[in-house]
Structure 1
Amino acid sequence: MSAARTTPTRRRRRTGARALVGLLAVALAGCAAIPTSGAVVEGDVEVGERDRVVVLAQGPQADAAPEEIVEGFLLAGAAEVTADFAVTREYLVPQARSEWDPLAGAVVAEDVTYEQTGDARITAEATVLGTLDAEGRYAQAPEGARESLVFELQQDGDGSWRIARAPDGLVVTARDLERQFRATSVYFLTPDHRHLVPELRWFPDRDLALATAVVRALLAGPSPWLRDAVISEIPAGAELRPEAVTVEDGVAELSLQPAQAVQEADRGLLLAQVEASLRPLGVTSVEVSAGGVLLEGASTLEVWEGGDAEVVADGALLRLAGGTATPVEGVEPGPVTGLARSEDGATRVAVRPPGELVQIGADGVVPLLSRTALVPPSVDPEGYVWSASGVAGRPLLALAPSGEEVEVDADWLADRAVRGLRVSRDGTRVAVVSAGADGTTLDVAGVVRDETGAPVRLGPPVRAGAPLDPSGPVVWVDDVTLAVLTQGDVGAPSLVTVGGPSTPLPVVADAVALAAGRGERSLLVLTADGDLLRYDGRTWVRVPGVGPVTAAAYPG
């Protein structure tokens, strides 16, 4: 939704407080950060029906001025996200009612102003927080982003103003996005068929159509940035026939075509993808048929439970479990930073100043490689150790378990200096903080591997946390959420949803590093003075019995 700015001839201002806030009140059940890798199992969060208070959209008023017509049109559209937009279309001339597509996307905005920029033209300008495309992909906008929307009006036979041309899509507030759209993931598979991989999407929270929208997104496949890093057992070109998913008493029923291709797929994995995608909607089981045959099967997907944190304190390696720190026997890392380890603990690596990647274990500290401004490493599920030199133009590096050094191709990093990276625990995505001509950014890209599991290249990036100015340290908090530190003298950790908004956390003075297992309450922050703090859901609390700490890590 965009249009060129024109010279104002008359100006009328509305702020977000009147123009866009408070259209619907809906209690939102959290579903943007759910367990996503592994078999479909019962979660620790009960998902039920959401209570809903509906404010009906108001139609055009008699003798309303052009600015009021446009304002009312936007208000009505935001109020009818979960309806059929019948009232909203009353603001349009008859021909435009069939041409306007409200579900082509949405601008998430605040501080909307209206200007009469011609005899029959109104321009609405807003501060943009993010955008939503027709497939439910959300992208945060950079700080201070603006967008102008132009509306052409005309008078009908009674002299009332109506809109003759309107940009497709909606304008909603951040509150509308959370309350009227459902954030939920569609699930794909790692190439080795071991884990489910989520991609977060946002759909209008329409009771009867929501499950259908989710399944259609699943059938369409992953977005371009993730496409080469994952697979799907749902055959390419599969369609819903009939074109709807029915849900009754928690059971979702759907039929897919072409029947032969669907029946020849791995049925257990296909069912796992469908069930995991629908479970956040209150679905307890799925019945998928093809050609009249009900699909049955089981999968052996793995679930990552989180693991314990390990820290380096006073040169010793300690394991944190149940609030107690115990020494890890046979390991003396010495003064290192940037600790990382594999899930089974067989691989532990760290950075030894000034820029040496080392492996630590029973054999002591073993040098692996040296690079200028080496960033803290990450260990992926295949045992590859990732790192990078913080010098512009240097490639990402991955050390194989054999010690062989592999360069991971990422053309979009050619002119950028890597400041931090972290591979997701399913190994399909990597979060990269990098600095370039456009500043320092946080991006997420798919990891493309060869048939042996070795990383070969990164797919195209998708920006995350666009309003933020990240400093480098980044970790995965769950399968769709990152935590990152931002620039400045005072540390400001933020949670960043990949495909969603970001949330600032309480500041931590002189924060220098992060670690996370599964969930916000596993999040640790390390300060320059060696203090280790844990997030308790509201604030940061000191971890007792350890210090001074130079490094902290969970698996990954």
Structure 2
Amino acid sequence: MGADREGGVRRTPGRAAAYVACGVVLLTGCASMPDSGDLRGVDSTARQDTQVRVFAMPPQEDAEPTDIVQGFLEALTSDDPQYETAKKYLTPRAARQWQPDRATTVLDDGPRADYTRPVDRGETDDASFTLTGTKVAVVDTQQSYTPASGEYHEPVHLVQDPKTKQWRIDSLPQGVVMGKSDFQRNYVSVDKYYFASDTKAVTAPQMVAVADPVYVRERVDPMTTLVRSLLSGPTSWLDPVVRTSFPTGTALQKGAASLAPDDRNTLVVPLNDKAAGVSSGPCEQMAAQLLFTLSDLAPAVDDVELRAGDKQLCTVGEEQAERAATRGSVEEPGFLYFVDGRHRLVRIPATSAGSGAQAEPVPGALGEGDKDLRSVAVSRDEHMAAGVGLDGKALYVGSLVAGGSLGEPVLTSAGKAAEDRLTTPSWDVEGDLWVADRNPADPRLLLLEEGAGEPLTVRIPGLDGRIKDLRVAADGVRIALVVEKDGRQSLLVGRIEREGKAGEKQTVSVRELRSTTPDLEEVTTMSWAGDSRLVVVGREQGGVQQTRYVQVDGSTPEGPPPAALTGVKEIAASEDDQMPLVAYSEDGIVRLPSGAQWQKVDADGTAPVYPG
């Protein structure tokens, strides 16, 4: 863990050994420690190849208290499935009471331990330390990641066994603690999938799959862990707006072995009797949830077979799963849209943007009429479009059909300046249109059902500031907001809750706003870039503009950030990561194909968007 710190005590060759067996490198080690002075941060294991597993050593005979604390902290970063080695550093009573799965606290550096009650040789049989550090995040018992800040300050107490004279820890904080680099080596972020409770895709009677990101230990049977997590239900933040197809109480069959696909790339999942009576329809939905959930962690899984006891319930492949529910990450957009130099809405085929294709006006009044546009949004089925006038005052909605008329604006703002009027709009999966009015006298988030009618004011309990920008996720149950207060912008993600019976007036609210970029003081622009990922352009305090990916839970996904681009004013991404990023910068509209550099699309264009 101490690679997280400068000046930490390093591992010594005498305390580590390397083994090669069956093509897998196994590392065991425990940092050596002085028996006097401060206990420093634990050295961090360098990030290894995914096949490398790290195992800690048990306590040595007659180890000093400093060695016991050090060895225990080191063992927390190993790949020991049940932390059996870490428990050897504890007294039997402490080992029984310790709950390592309660939480994982992530510190900026490895935890530092200081004496609060040093050992006085020959006069005492106990010792006390305090673990300290700066918190970065906490992963809770549901494996949900939450950014954290402030100081970590927890006591550890040791006693010496009167018979064996061996030191052991008898009091410690629940859960585990480690530095950021060890967390990144040990854990991987994966999406488990549920279905939106009341949301249907406007283009088909499909259910909508919603990603629920969690962290699992990367080399400790992650597939089985992830399946258990899926069966246990959604995280508490997402739970109010999603449902699962698994009957209440469904779990893996008692005594089930670790899950792994067979030589036909079929994963057999043995369930308990709670699932025994499901019919074919719900069973296919259950299997679809599993296939979606395992798609990134185990792409080799082609089919899922569900069983309960000796009974085969159903077998579902990828095509069947995709028919059962829609996901934003697999919905390929037809076109990239933007505003051209004449302030009209134009489009280019999404797969050929930047390859010499010429932008053409969209069919209908927004592409062929006389309204000068500032920003636009296109519905997810690409049948409708919305545009905000050049002065930001009026919102127009029209169909993308040749000869279609525009009519009067569906919404106007009374803000005195352009920057105090309407934001860029956004369409959800049900065909409803979202926009914020930034008028300081009456700031509101508004929803127009099917892009028409009387705007509905959306309640946002806990909102502190004014909405500068917004994007609704492809799943229709989450919304990203850029909120400004006192000159500082924050990127927040909220949960969309709808109340009201079909045919009656809805009550819509956005609840439990969560910060995804707590380190940024300026957020210039953002866009959804996956089922649980966003791309953000912003700046840290005292820093320069940067473009990065962030997870909706506030963590940083693996992989490199987008290639640098200066002067970015707007950015657009598709939930389908096969589509290139597109930006409006000092060079006009540019795009970033996979594995390439930014390419110019249109020197005079502004306001690029994919459908949504």
Pick the aligned partner of 1:154 from 159, 164, 172. Answer: 159
| Residue type of the alignment partner of 1:312 | V
If you compute each CA radius of gyration, which structure gives the higher value, 1 or 2? Answer: 2
For the pair 1:516 / 2:516, whether they are aligned, the reply is no
In 2, Cα distance between the equivalents of 1:540 and 1:130?
A: 33
User: Does structure 1 retain, via aligned residues, the 8 Å contact 2:438–2:467?
Assistant: yes
User: Does structure 2 retain, via aligned residues, the 8 Å contact 1:493–1:505?
Assistant: yes
Pick the aligned partner of 1:496 from 550, 561, 579. Answer: 550
Paired residue for 2:216?
203
CA deviations over 1:443-491 (Å, ceiling 9, x no partner): 2222223554967222423332333334252211011100122247953
Paired residue for 1:284?
302
Q: Highest relative contact order (Cα 8 Å, sep 6+), 1 or 2?
A: 1
TM-score (norm 1): 0.83
User: Does structure 1 retain, via aligned residues, the 8 Å contact 2:345–2:373?
Assistant: no
Q: Structure 1 regions of 5+ residues with no counterpart?
A: 1-9, 28-51
In 2, Cα distance between the equivalents of 1:96 and 1:403?
A: 63
Q: Structure 2 regions of 5+ residues with no counterpart?
A: 1-35, 119-126, 201-205
TM-score (norm 2): 0.76
Cα–Cα, structure 1 residues 259 and 226, in superposed 2: closer, same or farther, change >3 Å? closer
Paired residue for 1:406?
456
CA deviations over 1:276-307 (Å, ceiling 9, x no partner): 22343343322213465422375533351233
In 1, Cα distance between the equivalents of 2:307 and 2:382?
A: 43
**Deviation at residue 272 of structure 1 after TM alignment:** 0.9
Alignment of 1:142-541 (within 5 A): 142=149, 145-157=150-162, 158-190=164-196, 191=198, 192=200, 193-206=206-219, 209-242=221-254, 244=256, 246-249=259-262, 250=265, 251-259=267-275, 262-263=278-279, 266-279=282-295, 280-281=297-298, 282-290=300-308, 292-296=310-314, 299-302=323-326, 303-315=330-342, 316-321=344-349, 322=352, 323=355, 324-330=357-363, 331-332=367-368, 335-352=372-389, 353-359=391-397, 362-364=404-406, 366-371=408-413, 372=415, 373=420, 374-390=422-438, 394-401=443-450, 402-413=452-463, 415-436=464-485, 440-449=489-498, 450=500, 452=502, 456-471=508-523, 473-487=525-539, 490-499=544-553, 501-502=555-556, 505-517=562-574, 518-519=576-577, 522-527=580-585, 529=586, 531-536=588-593, 541=598
**Deviation at residue 125 of structure 1 after TM alignment:** 1.4
Cα–Cα, structure 1 residues 325 and 344, in superposed 2: closer, same or farther, change >3 Å? farther
Q: Secondary structure at the match of 1:543?
A: strand
In 2, Cα distance between the equivalents of 1:356 and 1:85?
A: 61
Cα–Cα, structure 1 residues 307 and 291, in superposed 2: closer, same or farther, change >3 Å? same
Q: Secondary structure at the match of 1:184?
A: strand
Q: Secondary structure at the match of 1:225?
A: coil
User: Does structure 2 retain, via aligned residues, the 8 Å contact 1:530–1:550?
Assistant: no
User: Does structure 2 retain, via aligned residues, the 8 Å contact 1:492–1:506?
Assistant: no
Paired residue for 2:65?
66
| Residue type of the alignment partner of 2:436 | A
User: Does structure 1 retain, via aligned residues, the 8 Å contact 2:188–2:217?
Assistant: yes
- The total of aligned residue pairs comes to 513
**Deviation at residue 391 of structure 1 after TM alignment:** 5.3
**Deviation at residue 187 of structure 1 after TM alignment:** 1.0
In 2, Cα distance between the equivalents of 1:228 and 1:269?
A: 19
Q: RMSD between aligned alpha carbons?
A: 3.1
User: Does structure 2 retain, via aligned residues, the 8 Å contact 1:465–1:497?
Assistant: no
